[in-house]
Protein backbone atom coordinates (compact mmCIF):
# COMPACT_ATOMS: atom_id res chain seq x y z
CA UNK A 1 0.00 0.00 0.00
CA UNK A 2 1.42 3.36 -0.90
CA UNK A 3 1.67 6.18 1.54
CA UNK A 4 -1.02 8.12 -0.29
CA UNK A 5 -3.68 5.42 -0.27
CA UNK A 6 -3.00 4.80 3.40
CA UNK A 7 -3.60 8.47 4.15
CA UNK A 8 -6.73 8.46 2.01
CA UNK A 9 -8.03 5.40 3.85
CA UNK A 10 -7.34 7.07 7.15
CA UNK A 11 -9.17 10.22 6.07
CA UNK A 12 -12.22 8.26 4.92
CA UNK A 13 -12.41 6.34 8.18
CA UNK A 14 -11.98 9.51 10.17
CA UNK A 15 -14.76 11.29 8.28
CA UNK A 16 -17.03 8.28 8.72
CA UNK A 17 -16.39 8.20 12.46
CA UNK A 18 -17.00 11.95 12.74
CA UNK A 19 -20.33 11.68 10.90
CA UNK A 20 -21.47 8.81 13.14
CA UNK A 21 -20.37 10.78 16.20
CA UNK A 22 -22.46 13.73 15.10
CA UNK A 23 -25.53 11.51 14.66
CA UNK A 24 -24.93 9.93 18.05
CA UNK A 25 -24.40 13.23 19.80
CA UNK A 26 -27.08 15.29 18.08
CA UNK A 27 -30.11 14.37 20.24
CA UNK A 28 -28.06 14.42 23.42
CA UNK A 29 -26.64 17.86 22.76
CA UNK A 30 -30.05 19.10 21.72
CA UNK A 31 -31.59 17.99 25.02
CA UNK A 32 -28.77 19.57 26.96
CA UNK A 33 -29.33 22.82 25.10
CA UNK A 34 -33.11 22.64 25.50
CA UNK A 35 -32.67 22.25 29.26
CA UNK A 36 -31.03 25.69 29.46
CA UNK A 37 -33.02 27.45 26.75
CA UNK A 38 -35.82 29.88 27.45
CA UNK A 39 -39.27 28.97 26.16
CA UNK A 40 -41.29 25.84 26.54
CA UNK A 41 -42.31 23.89 23.44
CA UNK A 42 -39.83 22.31 21.06
CA UNK A 43 -41.58 24.22 18.27
CA UNK A 44 -40.16 27.52 19.53
CA UNK A 45 -36.60 26.31 19.96
CA UNK A 46 -33.94 27.25 17.48
CA UNK A 47 -32.63 24.41 15.35
CA UNK A 48 -29.05 25.15 16.33
CA UNK A 49 -28.21 24.04 19.86
CA UNK A 50 -27.49 26.77 22.45
CA UNK A 51 -28.65 29.53 20.09
CA UNK A 52 -31.59 30.71 22.23
CA UNK A 53 -29.67 32.07 25.18
CA UNK A 54 -29.06 30.62 28.58
CA UNK A 55 -31.36 30.24 31.58
CA UNK A 56 -31.58 28.05 34.66
CA UNK A 57 -35.32 28.73 35.02
CA UNK A 58 -36.34 25.17 34.20
CA UNK A 59 -34.14 23.74 36.91
CA UNK A 60 -35.40 26.39 39.34
CA UNK A 61 -38.96 25.46 38.43
CA UNK A 62 -38.28 21.74 38.92
CA UNK A 63 -36.49 22.06 42.24
CA UNK A 64 -38.58 24.77 43.89
CA UNK A 65 -41.97 25.03 42.24
CA UNK A 66 -42.84 21.52 41.10
CA UNK A 67 -43.09 18.25 43.01
CA UNK A 68 -39.76 17.17 41.63
CA UNK A 69 -38.16 16.77 45.09
CA UNK A 70 -41.03 14.48 46.14
CA UNK A 71 -40.76 12.45 42.92
CA UNK A 72 -37.04 12.14 43.46
CA UNK A 73 -37.39 11.06 47.10
CA UNK A 74 -40.04 8.45 46.24
CA UNK A 75 -38.03 7.04 43.36
CA UNK A 76 -34.86 6.89 45.44
CA UNK A 77 -36.71 5.07 48.21
CA UNK A 78 -38.24 2.59 45.76
CA UNK A 79 -34.92 2.00 44.00
CA UNK A 80 -32.91 1.47 47.20
CA UNK A 81 -35.49 -0.83 48.77
CA UNK A 82 -35.97 -2.84 45.58
CA UNK A 83 -32.23 -3.18 45.12
CA UNK A 84 -31.62 -4.34 48.71
CA UNK A 85 -34.57 -6.71 48.66
CA UNK A 86 -33.61 -8.20 45.32
CA UNK A 87 -30.03 -8.80 46.44
CA UNK A 88 -31.10 -10.59 49.63
CA UNK A 89 -33.98 -12.62 48.23
CA UNK A 90 -32.43 -13.55 44.91
CA UNK A 91 -29.02 -14.48 46.32
CA UNK A 92 -30.61 -16.63 49.03
CA UNK A 93 -32.77 -18.36 46.44
CA UNK A 94 -29.83 -18.80 44.08
CA UNK A 95 -27.69 -20.30 46.85
CA UNK A 96 -30.39 -22.83 47.67
CA UNK A 97 -30.93 -23.73 44.01
CA UNK A 98 -27.18 -24.07 43.57
CA UNK A 99 -26.40 -26.14 46.68
CA UNK A 100 -29.47 -28.08 47.77
CA UNK A 101 -31.27 -30.98 46.20
CA UNK A 102 -35.01 -31.00 46.73
CA UNK A 103 -38.27 -32.02 45.16
CA UNK A 104 -39.55 -29.97 42.19
CA UNK A 105 -36.19 -28.20 41.75
CA UNK A 106 -36.02 -28.79 38.01
CA UNK A 107 -39.64 -27.75 37.50
CA UNK A 108 -39.14 -24.58 39.52
CA UNK A 109 -36.03 -23.60 37.56
CA UNK A 110 -37.69 -24.20 34.20
CA UNK A 111 -40.82 -22.29 35.17
CA UNK A 112 -38.74 -19.33 36.35
CA UNK A 113 -36.94 -19.30 33.02
CA UNK A 114 -40.24 -19.26 31.15
CA UNK A 115 -41.69 -16.62 33.47
CA UNK A 116 -38.83 -14.21 32.87
CA UNK A 117 -39.47 -14.02 29.13
CA UNK A 118 -42.80 -12.35 29.81
CA UNK A 119 -42.93 -8.64 30.21
CA UNK A 120 -44.54 -8.58 33.61
CA UNK A 121 -47.22 -6.11 32.57
CA UNK A 122 -48.94 -8.80 30.51
CA UNK A 123 -50.71 -9.64 33.75
CA UNK A 124 -51.11 -6.04 34.85
CA UNK A 125 -54.85 -6.14 35.45
CA UNK A 126 -54.32 -9.03 37.81
CA UNK A 127 -51.37 -7.31 39.48
CA UNK A 128 -53.60 -4.28 39.96
CA UNK A 129 -56.36 -6.38 41.58
CA UNK A 130 -53.91 -8.29 43.81
CA UNK A 131 -52.31 -5.07 45.04
CA UNK A 132 -55.75 -3.52 45.54
CA UNK A 133 -56.96 -6.56 47.51
CA UNK A 134 -53.99 -6.58 49.89
CA UNK A 135 -54.53 -2.89 50.56
CA UNK A 136 -51.31 -1.59 49.03
CA UNK A 137 -52.81 0.38 46.14
CA UNK A 138 -51.41 3.92 45.96
CA UNK A 139 -48.67 2.86 48.36
CA UNK A 140 -44.97 2.75 47.49
CA UNK A 141 -44.67 -0.65 49.17
CA UNK A 142 -47.14 -2.19 46.77
CA UNK A 143 -44.94 -1.10 43.87
CA UNK A 144 -41.82 -2.38 45.64
CA UNK A 145 -43.37 -5.82 46.17
CA UNK A 146 -44.27 -6.02 42.50
CA UNK A 147 -40.75 -5.01 41.42
CA UNK A 148 -39.20 -7.55 43.79
CA UNK A 149 -41.38 -10.34 42.46
CA UNK A 150 -40.64 -9.37 38.85
CA UNK A 151 -36.89 -9.29 39.52
CA UNK A 152 -36.65 -12.73 41.08
CA UNK A 153 -36.96 -15.20 38.16
CA UNK A 154 -34.21 -13.77 35.96
CA UNK A 155 -31.88 -12.84 38.78
CA UNK A 156 -32.10 -16.15 40.62
CA UNK A 157 -30.97 -17.76 37.38
CA UNK A 158 -28.19 -15.29 36.88
CA UNK A 159 -26.80 -15.61 40.42
CA UNK A 160 -27.27 -19.37 40.48
CA UNK A 161 -25.17 -19.64 37.32
CA UNK A 162 -22.40 -17.73 39.06
CA UNK A 163 -22.64 -19.68 42.32
CA UNK A 164 -22.45 -22.96 40.41
CA UNK A 165 -18.93 -21.98 39.44
CA UNK A 166 -17.84 -21.56 43.07
CA UNK A 167 -16.31 -24.89 44.17
CA UNK A 168 -18.49 -26.81 46.60
CA UNK A 169 -15.40 -27.63 48.66
CA UNK A 170 -15.48 -24.03 49.89
CA UNK A 171 -18.77 -24.41 51.71
CA UNK A 172 -18.09 -28.00 52.74
CA UNK A 173 -14.98 -26.81 54.55
CA UNK A 174 -17.06 -24.20 56.33
CA UNK A 175 -19.74 -26.76 57.21
CA UNK A 176 -17.11 -29.08 58.73
CA UNK A 177 -15.95 -26.18 60.89
CA UNK A 178 -19.49 -26.05 62.23
CA UNK A 179 -20.89 -23.09 60.33
CA UNK A 180 -24.62 -23.13 59.69
CA UNK A 181 -26.00 -22.84 56.15
CA UNK A 182 -26.90 -19.26 56.88
CA UNK A 183 -23.37 -18.40 57.99
CA UNK A 184 -21.87 -20.23 55.02
CA UNK A 185 -24.06 -18.24 52.69
CA UNK A 186 -23.34 -14.92 54.35
CA UNK A 187 -19.62 -15.19 55.11
CA UNK A 188 -18.29 -17.59 52.46
CA UNK A 189 -20.47 -17.50 49.35
CA UNK A 190 -21.60 -13.88 49.31
CA UNK A 191 -18.08 -12.39 49.39
CA UNK A 192 -16.96 -14.66 46.53
CA UNK A 193 -20.08 -13.84 44.53
CA UNK A 194 -19.46 -10.12 44.96
CA UNK A 195 -19.17 -9.29 41.22
CA UNK A 196 -22.55 -10.77 40.37
CA UNK A 197 -24.11 -9.29 43.52
CA UNK A 198 -22.85 -5.86 42.53
CA UNK A 199 -24.29 -6.35 39.06
CA UNK A 200 -27.60 -7.37 40.62
CA UNK A 201 -27.63 -4.40 42.96
CA UNK A 202 -26.90 -1.93 40.16
CA UNK A 203 -29.37 -3.29 37.63
CA UNK A 204 -32.22 -3.56 40.11
CA UNK A 205 -31.44 -0.07 41.42
CA UNK A 206 -31.47 1.43 37.93
CA UNK A 207 -34.68 -0.13 36.57
CA UNK A 208 -37.25 1.74 38.75
CA UNK A 209 -35.95 5.17 37.74
CA UNK A 210 -37.45 5.09 34.31
CA UNK A 211 -40.30 2.62 34.65
CA UNK A 212 -43.56 4.19 33.67
CA UNK A 213 -46.07 1.35 33.42
CA UNK A 214 -46.28 0.09 36.98
CA UNK A 215 -46.15 3.43 38.80
CA UNK A 216 -48.85 4.60 36.40
CA UNK A 217 -50.91 1.53 37.28
CA UNK A 218 -50.36 1.38 41.04
CA UNK A 219 -49.87 4.95 42.28
CA UNK A 220 -52.42 7.75 42.22
CA UNK A 221 -52.01 10.59 44.70
CA UNK A 222 -49.65 13.50 43.93
CA UNK A 223 -47.43 12.72 46.93
CA UNK A 224 -46.83 9.18 45.62
CA UNK A 225 -45.61 10.03 42.13
CA UNK A 226 -42.26 8.88 40.79
CA UNK A 227 -39.76 10.69 38.59
CA UNK A 228 -40.81 8.89 35.43
CA UNK A 229 -44.49 9.69 35.98
CA UNK A 230 -43.76 13.31 36.76
CA UNK A 231 -41.39 13.95 33.88
CA UNK A 232 -43.55 12.21 31.29
CA UNK A 233 -46.50 14.43 32.03
CA UNK A 234 -44.46 17.27 30.48
CA UNK A 235 -44.35 15.65 27.03
CA UNK A 236 -46.76 12.73 26.79
CA UNK A 237 -49.44 15.06 25.62
CA UNK A 238 -48.60 16.81 22.35
CA UNK A 239 -50.95 19.69 23.07
CA UNK A 240 -49.06 20.61 26.22
CA UNK A 241 -45.50 20.27 25.02
CA UNK A 242 -43.17 21.43 27.81
CA UNK A 243 -40.09 20.04 26.18
CA UNK A 244 -37.61 22.29 27.93
CA UNK A 245 -38.83 21.31 31.40
CA UNK A 246 -38.77 17.67 30.38
CA UNK A 247 -35.24 18.18 29.05
CA UNK A 248 -34.08 19.74 32.31
CA UNK A 249 -35.56 16.86 34.32
CA UNK A 250 -34.07 14.30 31.95
CA UNK A 251 -30.64 15.86 32.25
CA UNK A 252 -30.74 15.60 36.04
CA UNK A 253 -31.45 11.86 35.71
CA UNK A 254 -29.34 11.03 32.67
CA UNK A 255 -26.07 12.60 33.80
CA UNK A 256 -25.72 10.48 36.95
CA UNK A 257 -26.69 7.48 34.82
CA UNK A 258 -24.00 8.20 32.24
CA UNK A 259 -21.33 8.73 34.89
CA UNK A 260 -22.27 5.52 36.70
CA UNK A 261 -22.37 3.61 33.44
CA UNK A 262 -19.00 4.78 32.22
CA UNK A 263 -17.51 3.84 35.60
CA UNK A 264 -19.01 0.36 35.65
CA UNK A 265 -19.39 -0.59 31.97
CA UNK A 266 -16.52 -3.05 31.85
CA UNK A 267 -17.80 -4.94 34.85
CA UNK A 268 -21.41 -4.90 33.67
CA UNK A 269 -20.64 -6.27 30.24
CA UNK A 270 -18.24 -8.89 31.52
CA UNK A 271 -20.82 -10.14 33.99
CA UNK A 272 -23.62 -10.22 31.45
CA UNK A 273 -21.49 -11.94 28.82
CA UNK A 274 -20.19 -14.46 31.32
CA UNK A 275 -23.59 -15.22 32.78
CA UNK A 276 -25.03 -16.06 29.41
CA UNK A 277 -22.21 -18.37 28.46
CA UNK A 278 -22.79 -20.47 31.59
Partner 1 sequence: MSLSLDGNGKSKRAILITSLLFMGLAHILFFKQYIKGAFFALVQIAMIAFLPVVIPAIHGLITLGEHRPELSVRYRDHSMFMMIEGVAVLAVIFIFLCIYFISVRSAQKTYKDYCENGRLSNNKTSIKEVFNQSFAIFGLAPSVLLVVFFVVVPLVFAALVAFTNYSSPHHIPPGNTVDWVGMDNFVSLFGGQTLWTSALLQVAIWTVVWAAAATFTCYFGGMIMAVIMKDFKVKFAPFFRSIFILPYAVPAVISMLVWRNLLNGHFGAINRTLQHFGIIEGMIPWLGTEAMVRFTVVMVNLWAGFPYFMLLTMGTMTAINQDLFEQARIDGASKWRLFRHITFPLVTYQTMPLIIMSFTHNINNFGAIFFLTGGQPAVAHSPISGATGADILITWIYRLTMETLQYHFAAVLAVMIFIILAPFAITIFVRTKSFREGEL
What part of residues 67-106 is at the interface with partner 1 (CB under 8 A)?
Answer: 89-90, 92-93, 95-96, 100, 102-106
| 122 contacts partner 1 (rule: CB under 8 A) | yes
Closest Cα to residue 67, out of 202, 223, 214, 184?
Answer: 223
Give yes or no for residue 8 binding partner 1 (CB under 8 A): no
- Closest CB 210 distance from partner 1, rounded Å: 4
Other CB atoms within 10 A of residue 264 CB: 14
The smaller minimum CB distance to partner 1, of residues 6 and 60, is found at 6
Dihedral sign for Cα 192, 272, 74, 146, please.
negative
Q: Is 140 near partner 1 (CB under 8 A)?
A: no
Q: Counting contacts by CB under 8 A, is residue 45 touching partner 1?
A: yes
The answer to whether 167 contacts partner 1 (rule: CB under 8 A) is no
Q: Candidates 52-60, 67-75, 196-204, 240-248: pick the segment binding partner 1 (CB under 8 A).
A: 240-248
User: By CB under 8 A, is residue 181 in contact with partner 1?
Assistant: yes
> Which CB atom, from 99 or from 224, has the smaller least distance to partner 1?
99
Distance CA 250, CA 36 (A): 12
Q: Is 193 in the site for partner 1 (CB under 8 A)?
A: no
- Residue selected from 197, 219, 228, 248 as contacting partner 1 according to rule CB under 8 A: 228
Distance CA 267, CA 152 (A): 21
Number of CB atoms found within 10 A of residue 272's CB: 13
Give residues with Cβ within 8 angstroms of 205, minimum separation 6. 79, 80, 82, 83
* Binder among 7, 168, 170, 182 for partner 1 (CB under 8 A): 182
**Helix count (H) and strand count (E) of the chain?**
13, 0
User: Is residue 156 within the footprint of partner 1 (CB under 8 A)?
Assistant: yes
Q: How far apart are CA 201 and CA 73, in angstroms?
A: 19
Amino acid sequence: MTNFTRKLNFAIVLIFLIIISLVVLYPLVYVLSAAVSPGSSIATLSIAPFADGFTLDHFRFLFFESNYPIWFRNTLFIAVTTSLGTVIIASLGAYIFSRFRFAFKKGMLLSMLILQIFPSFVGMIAVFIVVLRIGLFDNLWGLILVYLAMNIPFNVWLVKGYMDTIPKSMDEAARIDGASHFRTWLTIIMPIAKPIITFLAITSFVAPWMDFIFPNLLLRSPENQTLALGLFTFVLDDTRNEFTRFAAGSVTVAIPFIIAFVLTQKMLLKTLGGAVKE
